[in-house]
Each structure stands twice: as structure tokens, then as C-alpha cells.
């Protein structure tokens, strides 16, 4: 009977989310209703809910999560500073005259934006507005262009500094400590956001490399889809190269300070935010009204994330009250084929949930349940975190509910079939990278500090 209650809670939450109710209130509201019904039915102990005040206090005082609003602020400032517009214009001038040049320019700009801001929605929308009309005008295949924009726009999921990695770092840190305590280790090791940042650098650039190889294949096999343009280099080479300095400066300031151990992720995010404001002022894109708009948007996004955290904490407590965590653990450990079978099942579940749920919901609802189970079976926490992050990245691209698809569709008139056709090769590339990292897990540990 408890298994039925636990599974029903999960599926009802998913169904209500599909209807369109806000995530935070769905997680908390549905969980409370199940707790109430379960209490009167004699299947739920309300003592589990007594832990909720401590959970909320822990969320509000979590030093790691303090980096979230600062990274959000930094990304919004860079968006207002028109960094993407300047980068794309200059890289197109440099590479556009070659076959497929605009595609490679898009990959470079998307990578630099991902490593500078870490915000997916703003990157996809900005690249869509700037690049899609120009690529269409120059004869580029519309599906190829749209797919590349969506894929490069989601690189902020995996290339540090990534808000996804910040959230994953907090969840996995708790899961890793819980797993060690369950195994009888009472002086548990820790995994930090900085560890995930370091572990994600090489896989992130491998992903970009595979995207570039796909464009090479297109140029060789289907050159008509990516023709050379008639653009001429009208700007001095020095000016073009100088446009690369602002994002490189931020990358070095933020990632360098974290990986070298000079600063924590929260401190490094503050350095990046100050640097972003400085760049915005240099570009004459910052005023009091713009700063107020950025502040309001930062508060909105941060409040949304933390409300989801609180709702997910309540869901977790109720789910455990129905012994849902025990049910999941028994299911995964009893599967034939050992721990890798359980890992594959979890990855497949996360992949398919990405069709209907946002990465934040999956991070806060699914990973706290399955994370301790997988980590107690001996999986490396950094490797597991990177695998989760790339898997979550596919949730932005998978039809019909991929958020990157919605972002692009909202600012263009591209046909849905063309859009789905365009993103499919990039989804397959991401799956290929997951297979590569499963085969060579040391790729996530080549950079450390």
C-alpha cells in the first residue's frame, strides 16, 4: 500500500505540472494533500513534516546557494550589455566568408556566452534574434541553423559557471554525505560546486568539439546547407580580437578564482557580477533604470528557484514518509546486471522526464531520491554530477517540451517540424558524449584543485 501512495504522489505531481500549475506550489500543495489523506488513512506519520522548518532554514542559510542570485544577476547584466551582439557581429565578419563560417562563429559565440553567463534562456533568445535571420538571408538551411542555435544556447547547462552545476553541487553534496553515513562513514568526504566546475570543463569542450565535427560533416556532405557568404572583413583584426577579451576576462576571473582555490563559487560569482557591471558601463549600456530592471528580474528568478527548493523539500519529506526512498532503493539494487543497470535506468528516467519537466524540478525532486542510492554503490560524485548535467541538458532540446525549442519558437516563425529535425543530431551528439564519459570516466577528473 505504501508503494502505491509513493508512486501516486509522483505521478499526480507530474500530471498537475503538465496541466500548467506553478512548480513550487504544485510540489508543496500536492504533497500536503497526500500527507493529509495518508494521515487519515493511517499510512503517513506527520512527524516527517516536523523537519520542514529545519529544511527551510537550511535552504535560506546555504552558502553555496547564495551563488545563484549573483550568477543570475551577472548573466542579466551581460545580456543588457549586448555582449552577444558584439561577439556574433565580429566573429561573423572574421569567419563568415568561409563555407559554414557562420555556423562556426555561432559555436564560438555560444561557448563564450555559456562560459560567461550560464543562463540558457537569455542565450537562446539572443542568438535566435541575432543569428537566425542573417543565416536564413545567406542561404543557410533553416533546420540546421535553428538546431545549432538551440544546442549552443544550452551549453550554459554544462560549461561553467553554470547555475545547473551550482544547484547540482548542493544536491549532490547532501546526497554524498547521506550515502557515506548510510555506509557507516561518520567523517564523510564532501563534493563541492568547484569540483563540478573543474570536472565539467573538458566534457563541455568535448561536446563543443563534436558540434564542430558535425558542421564539418555538413560542409563536406551537404555544402549547399552552409554556403560561404559574401561578407568582407570590414573591421581591423585587432578590433575583432579585442571583442573576445570581455568574455575571456570574465571566464578567467570567475573560473580561475574557483579552480585555483582563491575564491568560493559565491565569492567568484560576486567578482563576475562586478566585472559584468564594469563591462556594461564601458559599453554604455548601464543606467539606473536598466539596473533596476535587472534587479527586479534577478529577484523574480531567484525567488522562483528558492520556492521550488522549498516545495521540493516538502515533496521529499512526504515521499520518504510513504517509504518511497526505500522502494526506489530496493528497485534499483535488485535489478539484474549490478549497479550499472540501476544507473542506466536512472539516466533513462531522467531523459524521458526531460520531455515534460524542467531541469530544476528534476534536480530537486529526482536526484535527492536516487543520488544517495547510486553514490552508496561506489559511483564517483563528480562523474555522476557531470553525467546528470549533460542528461539534463538534453531536456532543453527534446521535443515537444524542450525549453530551448520554446525560446526559439517564441521569437521566430520557424516550422516545428524543421525545428525538431534540426535539434535531433545534437541530441544524438549529447547521447554520444554520455556514452564516451561512461567509457572514459577519467575525463571528468583531468582538471582538479
| pLDDT tens-place string over residues 357-383 | 777 778 888 888 888 889 888 899 999
Fill in the DSSP letter of residue 365.
I
End-to-end CA distance of the chain: 48
How is 261-298 classified by DSSP, letter by letter?
A: TSS-HHHHHHHHHHHHHHHHHHTT---HHHHHHHHHHH
Picking from 11-15, 25-29, 262-266, which range would have the lowest pLDDT averaged per residue? 262-266
Q: pTM here? A: 0.84
Distance of CA 245 to the CA centre of its chain: 25
Residue 449 has pLDDT above 60, yes or no: no
Fill in the DSSP letter of residue 191.
-
pLDDT at 183: 75
For residue 431, count CB atoms less than 10 angstroms from its CB and return exposed for 0-12, middle for 13-18, buried for 19 or more: middle
**How many residues are listed for the chain in this entry?**
449
Closest alpha carbon to 190 in 200, 201, 203, 181: 181
* pLDDT-above-70 percentage for the chain: 92
398 phi and psi, to 5 degrees?
A: -75, 125
How is 377-425 classified by DSSP, letter by letter?
A: TT--HHHHHHHHHHHHHHTTTSTTT-HHHHHHHHT----HHHHHHHHHH
> Where in the chain are the domains?
47-444
Closest alpha carbon to 270 in 59, 49, 73: 73
Mean pLDDT of the chain, nearest integer: 83
Q: Decide which of 409 and 215 is more confident.
A: 215
| Residue pair 78/282 in contact by the 8 Å Cβ criterion | no
Residue 388 has pLDDT above 90, yes or no: yes
pLDDT at 160: 82
| pLDDT tens-digit series, residues 278-296 | 888 877 777 888 889 888 9
Dig out the grid coordinates for 118 from the structure. 550560464
Instruction: Say whether the peptide bond before residue 123 is cis (omega within 30 degrees of 0).
Output: no
CA angle 154, 155, 158 (to 5 degrees): 115
Helix axes 193-221, 381-394, angle to 10 degrees: 50
CA angle 302, 303, 304 (to 5 degrees): 90
Residue matched to cell numbers 531541469: 359
pLDDT at 96: 64
- Side-chain-facing half-sphere of 296: CA atoms under 13 Å: 5
Residue 401 has pLDDT above 70, yes or no: no
CA distances from 222 to 215, 216, 428 (A): 10, 10, 19
- CB-based contacts of 335: which residues, under 8 Å, 6+ apart? 341, 342, 345
Q: If you count DSSP H runs as helices and E runs as strands, how many of each does the chain have, helices first?
A: 22, 0
Mean pLDDT, residues 401-427 taken together: 83
Dig out the grid coordinates for 202 from the structure. 573538458
How is 18-51 classified by DSSP, letter by letter?
A: HHT--HHHHHHHHHHHHHHHHHHHT---GGGGGG
Amino acid at each position: 500500500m505504501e508503494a502505491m501512495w509513493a508512486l501516486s504522489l509522483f505521478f499526480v505531481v507530474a500530471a498537475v505540472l503538465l496541466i500548467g500549475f506553478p512548480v513550487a506550489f504544485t510540489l508543496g500543495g500536492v504533497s500536503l494533500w497526500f500527507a493529509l489523506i495518508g494521515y487519515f488513512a493511517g499510512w503517513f506519520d506527520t512527524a516527517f513534516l516536523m523537519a520542514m522548518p529545519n529544511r527551510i532554514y537550511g535552504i535560506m542559510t546555504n552558502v553555496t546557494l547564495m551563488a545563484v542570485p549573483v550568477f543570475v544577476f551577472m548573466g542579466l547584466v551581460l545580456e543588457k550589455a549586448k555582449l552577444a551582439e558584439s561577439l556574433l557581429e565580429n566573429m561573423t565578419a572574421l569567419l563568415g566568408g568561409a563555407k559554414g563560417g557562420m555556423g562556426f562563429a555561432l559555436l564560438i559565440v555560444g561557448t563564450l556566452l555559456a562560459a560567461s553567463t550560464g543562463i540558457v534562456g537569455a542565450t537562446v533568445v539572443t542568438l535566435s534574434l541575432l543569428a537566425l535571420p542573417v543565416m536564413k538571408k545567406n542561404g543557410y538551411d533553416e533546420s540546421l541553423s535553428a538546431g545549432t542555435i538551440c544546442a549552443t544556447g544550452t551549453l550554459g547547462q554544462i560549461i561553467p559557471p553554470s547555475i545547473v552545476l551550482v544547484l547540482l553541487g548542493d544536491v549532490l553534496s547532501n546526497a554524498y554525505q547521506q550515502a557515506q553515513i548510510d555506509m557507516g562513514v561518520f567523517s564523510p568526504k564532501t563534493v563541492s560546486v568547484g569540483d563540478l566546475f573543474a570536472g565539467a570543463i573538458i566534457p563541455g569542450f568535448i561536446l563543443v568539439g563534436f558540434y564542430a565535427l558535425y558542421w564539418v560533416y555538413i560542409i563536406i556532405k551537404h555544402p549547399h546547407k552552409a554556403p560561404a557568404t559574401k561578407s568582407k572583413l570590414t573591421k581591423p583584426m585587432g578590433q575583432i580580437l579585442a571583442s573576445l577579451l570581455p568574455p575571456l576576462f570574465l571566464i578567467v576571473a570567475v573560473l580561475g578564482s574557483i579552480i585555483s582555490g582563491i575564491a568560493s563559487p559565491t565569492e567568484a560569482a560576486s567578482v563576475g557580477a562586478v566585472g559584468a557591471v564594469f563591462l556594461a558601463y564601458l559599453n554604455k549600456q548601464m543606467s539606473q533604470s536598466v539596473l533596476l530592471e535587472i534587479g527586479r528580474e534577478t529577484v523574480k528568478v531567484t525567488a522562483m528557484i528558492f520556492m521550488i527548493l522549498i516545495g521540493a523539500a516538502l515533496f521529499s519529506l512526504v515521499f520518504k514518509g510513504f517509504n518511497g526512498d526505500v522502494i526506489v532503493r530496493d528497485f534499483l539494487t535488485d535489478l539484474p546486471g549490478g549497479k550499472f543497470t540501476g544507473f542506466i535506468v536512472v539516466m533513462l528516467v531522467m531523459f524521458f522526464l526531460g520531455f515534460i519537466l524542467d531541469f530544476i524540478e528534476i534536480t530537486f525532486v529526482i536526484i535527492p531520491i536516487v543520488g544517495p542510492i547510486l553514490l552508496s554503490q561506489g559511483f564517483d560524485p563528480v562523474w555522476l554530477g557531470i553525467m546528470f548535467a549533460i542528461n539534463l541538458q538534453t531536456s532543453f532540446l527534446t521535443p515537444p517540451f524542450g525549453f530551448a525549442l520554446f525560446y526559439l519558437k517564441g521569437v521566430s516563425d520557424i516550422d516545428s517540424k524543421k525545428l525538431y529535425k534540426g535539434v535531433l543530431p545534437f541530441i544524438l551528439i549529447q547521447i554520444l558524449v554520455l556514452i564516451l564519459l561512461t567509457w572514459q570516466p577519467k575525463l571528468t577528473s583531468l582538471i582538479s584543485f
